[in-house]
Amino acid sequence: MEPHVWRDAKVTYADYVGTAQLDQKMTGESGLKVAGIDEEKWLVVGIDIGGGERDHGLRVVAVDLEAVPEGEGNVIDRLVEEHGHIPTKELLLHDVNPYDFLKSITHQFELRLRTSYTEGKNIMVTSLGDIPEQP
């Protein structure tokens, strides 16, 4: 494997484009731990859920904490100062449902996808409804 810059999401034909943000849950059992990630060894800096029509996989991008240079201050800043980038390992999590994992680490989550032909145009919500209709 050649080292490469971790990039934004990209698919061949982007029918939908958008953004996501997650506020990680800080209470209760750690979803990272439940998924098998040793938080004493790994500092997760990215989550990647992707796949095709049949299945989706879960990868986390993490810093090996044993490789962090000694010193004061922020771990990420020390890594960038030492290497010029954040060196990570991409870990494929087996036997973990990506969406159950996502729920397990979420305090608040928002995913907004819009059809690509509406990109750069304001979408105005002018009414509300339910499917199926609710009384």
Residues 6+ apart with CB under 8 A from 7: none
CA atoms of 98 and 104, how far apart (whole Å): 10
- 36-77 pLDDT, tens digit per residue, is 999 999 999 999 999 999 999 999 999 999 989 888 889 999
Instruction: State the distance between the two ends of the chain, measured CA to CA, in whole angstroms.
Output: 56
pTM confidence score: 0.85
- 105-129 pLDDT, tens digit per residue, is 999 999 999 999 999 999 999 999 9
What is the domain partition of the chain in residue ranges? 16-118
